[in-house]
Structures are given as C-alpha cells and as structure tokens.
Structure 1
Amino acid sequence: MQHPGTYQTRVSAYADVERKTGDAALSAYGELYGRVQRTLFAEVAAGRSAVSLQSEYLKRYGIPARMFNAVRVSLEGKVASVKAQQKLRVDSLGRRMARVERRSRAAASRGCWEQVHQQKRRLAALQSQRAALQEDMEAGRVRLCFGSKRLWRKQHHLAENGYANHQEWLREWREARSDEFFVLGSRDETAGCQLCVATVADDGSLTLRLRLPNCLMARYGKYLVIQGVRFAYGHAQVLAALESNAEYTRYRREHGEQAVRATALGQAISYRFKRDAKGWRVFATTNMMEVPVVTDQRRGAIGVDLNADHLAVAETDASGNPVHAFRVPLVTYGKSRHQAEAIIGDAVARVVAYARAAGKPVVIEKLDFRRKKARLEGENRRYRRMLSSFSYGKVKACFLSRGYREGVEVQQVNPAFSSVIGRVKFMERYGLSVHQAAALVLARRLLGCSERIPRRRVAPVGPGVQVAFSVPARKRVKHVWTYWGAVSRQLGPALAAQHRLGRRRGPPNPVQVARRVA
C-alpha cells in the first residue's frame, strides 16, 4: 500500500515579475479560492449538490473546471472531518457525563453537598452540549467557520487583543479567509497536475508554472512561474514522481490510453499554497517511493509504550526474552504546535533508527486515546496538563510514516492489561520500569507469547512496596485476560493508595526480591 507524503518549502523567486507582484497574484488567487469555497459551502448546506453547480460556477467566477474540483474536494474533506468529529465528541461527552454522575453520587454519599451542586452544574452543561451536537447530526448540519472561531471572537474585545479599531481586525479577518488555496493533481495529467506543472531545472531545482484563473489574467497574465523550488526534505520523492509521470506520457504515446491505465506509472502531485507572516509556502503531496522492508519479526520485536512525557522502549529476541530497554524523553507540555511536532519527530526517529539497525519491527499500542483523555477529570493536575498536551494521533502517524520511509514495519497490537502484566511478571524480574515492562508485553504479544498468571502472586506497587493478589478459581475455560482483569481490579486500589500517600515521582528504586518471613 502506498503512503502519501507532503513536503514544503518557501516561495522565493518568480520569473519575469517582481516578488511583490508574484505575491499579489498568489493573494488574489487565494482570495478568489476562499470566496468560491465559502459560497459553495453555503449552497451545499442549503441542500444543493456541489457537482450540479460546476457549470454555473465556471461562468460566474471565471475559473477552470480543475479549480472548481479542487475547491469541491477540499470542502468535502472539511465537511467529512467535521462530521467525524461530531460522532467522536458525542461519545466523549457521554463518557464525561457518566464520570460526572459517578462523582456526584460519591460526593452525595459523603455529604459534600457543595460538590454535588457543582457536579450537577457541570452535568447540565455537558448535557446541553451533547443535545446540541445530536440535533446537528440528526439534521445533517455542519458548522464551519472560515477564518477560525478564535479570530472571529476577537472582534468583540478589540483592545484586549491588540486592535486599534474594528478595521484592523477586519483586515486580518479577510487575510485569514484567503491565506491558502489547493491545486488538485491527477496521475493522467501533465507532470501529475494540470494547473501547476513542475519541470526540473538544470541545477536540480523545480520550476512551477501555475495556471491563473481567467478572471485574473488581465492583471497578472495567464501563468505565474515560480523558480528555484527545492524541498529540504522529500525533494527526491517529488523528482521520482515527475519521472514516473514522464514515463506515463511516453508509454501512453506508444501504447495508448487503455494500456497505460493498467500500469503503475504516473503519480498525482497536488499542491497547496499557504501564506504566513514571512510570505508564501508551497506544499507538494504525492505518494512516497516504496522502500524495501529490512525488518523481520523472526529476529524479535521492539515494543514501544506511549506515555505523556516519554516513550518506553523494550527489545526482545525471537523467543520474547528482553534484550535491551531504554527511555526516550517526549515532553510536549508548554511547547508550541511546531515545537511539539519537532520533539515527536525526533523521538520517533530515534526509535525507528534503532529498530532498523536491529532489523526488528516496532510494536505500538492500538488504542483509542480519546477514552484516556475523557478520564482527565479526577486525575491530578500535573498529569492532566501533560496528557492534554500529548497527541497520541500525531505519534502514531509519525511512527507509521517514518517506518514506511525507513523500511521498518510498524505493527499495532491490543494493549489490554499490558501495564498490569508487565508490573506483575517482568518489572521486578528484569529490573524494568513499569512502562518498559509494558513495552516488553507489547513486543511479546506480537510474537504470540502467552502471559499466564505466575505462581508467585505479588506485585510491586511502589518503591520497596509489594502487594499480594489472588486469582478467581477456574470453574470453566476462559481467556487469560479474564484473570488479568481480576488482578487489575485488585491492584488498582493499592496503586491509588500509593498515589494518595504522595510517593515521590522519578525513577523507581531497584526492587528487592521479597524474602519469605518465617
């Protein structure tokens, strides 16, 4: 399966026009694109079909059909994203409401009526949010704010947000609604994109010839030529896609349209232009070249346990025995979005490079991290801050993308009871942290290792502290996770008690082997 990759660089030079004129042409394109997209969204929301509006929009705005298709595809993606988020938010609100109800009942049993009152207020707010979302879903209503809700709300507090008057805010609002546009590509078009044709210059850089809409030709001409485009990362991928498109053209000329469609030649290259404080950037998206897989789980596996402040890594041999374990810092709290992405990328790159050198696949958790975030209420403040700033989806996507580029398999397994199993079976035995032990369980799970309850039924729950547990009698054959679930329910209160005692945080002390007392 092919994976798309997106690469970016800054627009630095134009052919035959000054930098200011070239930037103005891109801004005019962005303004037109944004206006068409907002109008199309309004008409689609009113019940009209986007496809049926194509001919009307081509005449009304003087745009080519490929530009309309780019607007339509981009808008459909945004609408689909909002609809998916609606379902997720309804589920999340339901879980949060259930937790608030449990806390309210617990407070009532203790006679804490002030807390009960606050929990009821919180519950009413959540119920109102959920009812509004469900009403939107039933009506098929999608709410989109082009320019961002945050910027829209700033007009009501101009001085607090640094605006001298409403005109300043309005200028920024209009710029935000026209700061990007999308150019859709296709494998059967010239150089993979009809409206933005890339050619390779003598120095290896790219020249982009952007076809401007008819309504802008009088001011800026038919084409805007961007020179000296070189992607710091992924330039070779774009060059390979262009070469594949050239092969597609040659093969089609020699064998015909039907024959070339049956081949794997040709790659679509789509471009997105985005304006920021320094100027315009161009993003190119195309399928990445396939890299031979260099890992084999017959050598073993490398498990990775994802945590709010680090990655716990454990390597095993082919039999599931631990070989090496280490910790990769991953603190994203207090960082900007770009800083967090860089930190995540560096951490993932380190793990993938280690896996490539070892020739073993990476194993990560296959879980719904939204459920974990829904349990934020009731946790301590430090943990809530860390978890709310942690992007499990970004880490997962980074692992999959990096692994594909490096030829490293990235497998996902069910993490059920991995922390409990690691704590009971491997933490003390191999001198691992609880997270490294959980990573070891993930790696062993990929290899098909069974995790039976040990004979010695004690588990460390803190530095120098252990707790004994029992296992239900096996009256009938059940899955081993059934018994680990019983163990988890027994260890939970002990771990909570240790937390209430205020045990210091940090690396655990070496756990001493328990000695039998006569």
Structure 2
Amino acid sequence: MLTDRLARERADHHAGRVRVVRGGKRLARNRHHLAAAQLTEVEWRQRWEAERWFLHADGESGKRYGNETIRVTPDGEVSIRLPAPLAHLANAPHGRYALGCRVAFAHRGAEWADRIAANRAVAYRIHLDVARGRWYLTASWQRPPAPALPLSAALAHGVIGVDTNADHLAAWRLDVHGNPIGNPRRFGYDLAGTAEHRDAQVRHALTRLLRWARSCGVSAIAIEDLDFAAEKTREKHGRNKRFRQLISGMPTGRLRARLTSMADATGITIIAIDPAYTSKWGAQHWQAPLTSATRNTTRHDAAAVAVGRRAQQHPIRRRTPPPPHDQSDRAGHRSVQADRRVAGREGTRHRTPDHAHDAPGPDAARTRGTSAPNTVRGAPVQLMFTG
C-alpha cells in the first residue's frame, strides 16, 4: 500500500500537479456536507473564494519601512508596488497603488512603529474575513533570541510557581526565601471545542498569568517540565484509563511553547523544573499550614509552592532542622526527630543523665574533667554478633 502511494506521489511530482487545498481540507469537505456545516452553497462559495483573495509579502531589512511590496507608513497609509503588467493602474508615484483607507495596529502598535522606524523587516498579509465582511491587514516579524539571564538575577525579586492541571493553572508568588506571599491565583481554561477555541483559551490564561507577574514585579516564572509523550501508554499506567485520559488532555506542549514565546516579549524568565513529587510533597508540607478560616488551600496550590521552592533551589519541606551548637544538642528537638503532632517538639530536652554510661552519682564530687554527654546518641552502643 505504501509503495503504491509513493508511486502516485512521484507521478504527480513529475507531472507538475500540486494537490494543495487552499482553505484547508475541512472547507473542501464542507462542500459535500452543507447541511451538517450549516452553510448554503453561496456562503460556502464566498468562503472558498475568500481563501484565494489575499496578498502576502515578506519584509526585508534595509528597505523603506521594512517592506518594499506592501508599504505601511507610520501614519497608517498603505501602498502596494504593482507588477509591470499592472503599472497603468498606479495612482501614486513609482508604480504604486495607494489604498484610500488608513490602518492602525491596536496590538503591539508601539513595537511595530519602532521596527518600521528602523527599517527592519515586517511581513504583511491582506485578506478578507467573510463572516465579518471586512478586509484585514496583519503584520508579523521575528524577534532575535533573548539572552539567557543567570538564575540568580532572574530570582532576585522572587518567583511565581505554577502547577499545570487539566483545566487550570495554579500559581503562587514566593519571596526570595521561598515563603508564599499573598493568596494563590488560579487561571482557568476550557479545552473543549475546536482547536482555535482551545488555543485561544490557553493564550488567554497565559496572558493573565504574565500580567499578574508583571504587576507583582517578579522576573521569573517556574513551571513543571511535564512531558507525557512517552508515558501515556497502557504499558506505563496499566488499566488506569481515567488517569491516562487526564494526562492526555493536559496541554503540556502547547503551554510550554506558548508561555516561552509570550514571556520573551515581556522580559520574564521561564524556569523549567523537575516535576517529580511536587504535588505529593507540596500537599504533605504546605497544604495544612497554608489553610486558614478564610483561605482553603488546595493540593494544586500547595504544589505551586513546591514548584517555586524547587526553582529557587530550596528544599520543599517547610521546616529545616537547626544546626546543633555542640554535642549536648542545645538546639532542642529537630523537626526530623519529632512528628508535628508531638506536643512540645520545639522545646528543650530534659536532662536525662541515666542514659550516660559513666554518669556521676548524687554524692560524687564535681570535677572539671570531661563529663558524659546527656544525649542518647552520645552513649556508646554495644553490638553483639552471634556466629
């Protein structure tokens, strides 16, 4: 079958036939299913012809206003360089046709004005929107890769940890010491519907996340480096169909690509961290302490804190053991030695001289000699081996 398909493609290539559907395969199939597409033949014909009514020109750096074919001046005047057979239709000098309307770019208009002022390349496309009955002019350009900042400079003002989920992004701001500040934020999105709808939902959620990061003055966002491309198989997760459907629906690749490109324009650094055990350890160490009468901290909010602390190279656990002053352990109980439900775990230890092997009796005279330590670990341990 593959050999036969290859032979047909090679025959079309040698014959010069290019099988390209302008407007996409869906628009071509709608012609045979007009009732299902809720279109009439006239409406479909308008969309079919509109996909062919466009004019596109790539820009070139060094040319006036960054494009010689389609030129847009800073005040919004559009002129098109006509080819030689259509030169008699020109209404402007140098064989150009000037449109009678003015254009304006509401989105990134300042950035576009800076590019054409420096005669940097800008690509334009003029196309017809049949649904709205309007002609549109779109501008596009490429940005040079942004220089990578050192991790210390990116984390100088704290970080925002983001936990990725199937229907929302859970985010929490952390200071330079890894402590949560303020309340958690949630940016939801709906991945049901068409591909355009899903892409718009993801873009809107990331836009709100970046705006919040800029308002907080944070220069770094930490996100999990999730990749289920090789793990959403039955061999990996067995019969857990619900979990396989959950990870398959998470837009990990789309989120990472979108967030990286959008953050580049805002000057925010994206830090990808290892996602291992962030949800489990975040819920274990941070969910209960951050829950109050006025704030219900979810497992995803606690995972966002864990993600941010890992990006800052802090341990995820909430309390680290204090260093002992000396062998007598005046620092008191450590968090690794006592459970959080044990009463008095932060208090000092009581003196227990009976644990020492050479503890002096009550009638013994005090000397300045070395005394035995009063901790259990200071006493010698006797190991017995049996043959």
**TM-score band, normalised by the shorter chain?**
0.5 to 0.7
Say which SS state the counterpart of residue 194 (structure 1) adopts: coil
Name the CA distance, whole Å, in 2 between partners of 1:354 and 1:269.
Answer: 30
User: 2:138 — aligned with what?
Assistant: 283
Structure 1 residue 236 displacement after superposition:
1.0
Structure 1 residue 450 displacement after superposition:
4.0
Aligned counterpart for 2:278 among listed residues 418, 443, 447: 418
- Asked whether the 8 Å contact 1:296–1:359 carries over to 2, the reply is no
- Asked whether the 8 Å contact 1:364–1:410 carries over to 2, the reply is yes
User: 2:173 — aligned with what?
Assistant: 315
Structure 1 residue 367 displacement after superposition:
2.8
Pick closer, same or farther for the CA change 1:155–1:297 going to 2, 3 Å: same
Pick closer, same or farther for the CA change 1:157–1:343 going to 2, 3 Å: closer
Pick closer, same or farther for the CA change 1:147–1:352 going to 2, 3 Å: closer
Say which SS state the counterpart of residue 441 (structure 1) adopts: helix
Structure 1 residue 211 displacement after superposition:
1.9
Structure 1 residue 178 displacement after superposition:
1.0
Structure 1 residue 271 displacement after superposition:
1.0
Name the CA distance, whole Å, in 1 between partners of 2:28 and 2:240.
Answer: 33
Structure 1 residue 229 displacement after superposition:
0.9
After TM superposition, the structure 1 stretch with the greater mean CA deviation from structure 2, 436-445 or 361-370, is 361-370
Structure 1 residue 185 displacement after superposition:
0.8
Mapping of residues 10-409 of structure 1, within 5 Å: 46=13, 145-162=21-38, 171-172=45-46, 174-175=48-49, 177-201=51-75, 206-217=76-87, 222-226=95-99, 227-245=101-119, 267-277=120-130, 278-287=133-142, 296-334=154-192, 340=198, 343-360=201-218, 361-368=220-227, 370=229, 379-380=241-242, 384=245, 388=249, 391-409=251-269
Say which SS state the counterpart of residue 308 (structure 1) adopts: coil
Aligned counterpart for 1:445 among listed residues 289, 297, 310: 310
- Asked whether the 8 Å contact 2:59–2:123 carries over to 1, the reply is yes
- Aligned Cα root-mean-square deviation (Å): 4.3
- Asked whether the 8 Å contact 2:286–2:318 carries over to 1, the reply is no
Q: Which amino acid aligns with 1:448?
A: Q
Name the CA distance, whole Å, in 2 between partners of 1:313 and 1:286.
Answer: 31
Structure 2: 5+ residue stretches without partners: 1-8, 292-296, 321-339, 344-387
- Asked whether the 8 Å contact 2:22–2:51 carries over to 1, the reply is yes
Name the CA distance, whole Å, in 2 between partners of 1:349 and 1:220.
Answer: 43
Q: Which amino acid aligns with 1:286?
A: W
Name the CA distance, whole Å, in 2 between partners of 1:372 and 1:272.
Answer: 41
**1:18-44 Cα deviation digits (max 9, x unpaired):** xxxxxxxxxxxxxxxxxxxxxxxx999
Structure 1 residue 407 displacement after superposition:
2.9
- The count of residues paired between Structure 1 and Structure 2 equals 295
- Asked whether the 8 Å contact 1:325–1:436 carries over to 2, the reply is no
Name the CA distance, whole Å, in 1 between partners of 2:274 and 2:11.
Answer: 40
Say which SS state the counterpart of residue 314 (structure 2) adopts: coil
Q: Percent identity?
A: 26
Pick closer, same or farther for the CA change 1:421–1:242 going to 2, 3 Å: same
Name the CA distance, whole Å, in 1 between partners of 2:123 and 2:311.
Answer: 37
Name the CA distance, whole Å, in 2 between partners of 1:515 and 1:44.
Answer: 80
Name the CA distance, whole Å, in 1 between partners of 2:215 and 2:34.
Answer: 55
Structure 1 residue 280 displacement after superposition:
1.9
Structure 1 residue 334 displacement after superposition:
4.4
**1:239-297 Cα deviation digits (max 9, x unpaired):** 1111112xxxxxxxxxxxxxxxxxxxxx2111122321222211111356989x9x740
Q: Which amino acid aligns with 1:445?
A: R
- Asked whether the 8 Å contact 2:70–2:81 carries over to 1, the reply is yes
Structure 1 residue 453 displacement after superposition:
12
Rg larger in structure: 2
- Asked whether the 8 Å contact 2:22–2:52 carries over to 1, the reply is no
Residue 428 in 1 paired to residue 288 in 2? yes
Structure 1 residue 188 displacement after superposition:
2.4
Structure 1 residue 214 displacement after superposition:
4.0
Structure 1: 5+ residue stretches without partners: 1-41, 54-141, 246-266, 456-512
Name the CA distance, whole Å, in 1 between partners of 2:74 and 2:247.
Answer: 46
Structure 1 residue 396 displacement after superposition:
3.4
Name the CA distance, whole Å, in 2 between partners of 1:434 and 1:217.
Answer: 67
Pick closer, same or farther for the CA change 1:372–1:178 going to 2, 3 Å: farther
Name the CA distance, whole Å, in 2 between partners of 1:172 and 1:213.
Answer: 27
The structure where helix makes up a greater share of residues is: 1
Pick closer, same or farther for the CA change 1:269–1:444 going to 2, 3 Å: same
Using the size of structure 1 for normalisation, the TM-score is: 0.47
- Asked whether the 8 Å contact 1:333–1:386 carries over to 2, the reply is no
- Asked whether the 8 Å contact 1:312–1:439 carries over to 2, the reply is yes
Structure 1 residue 362 displacement after superposition:
1.0
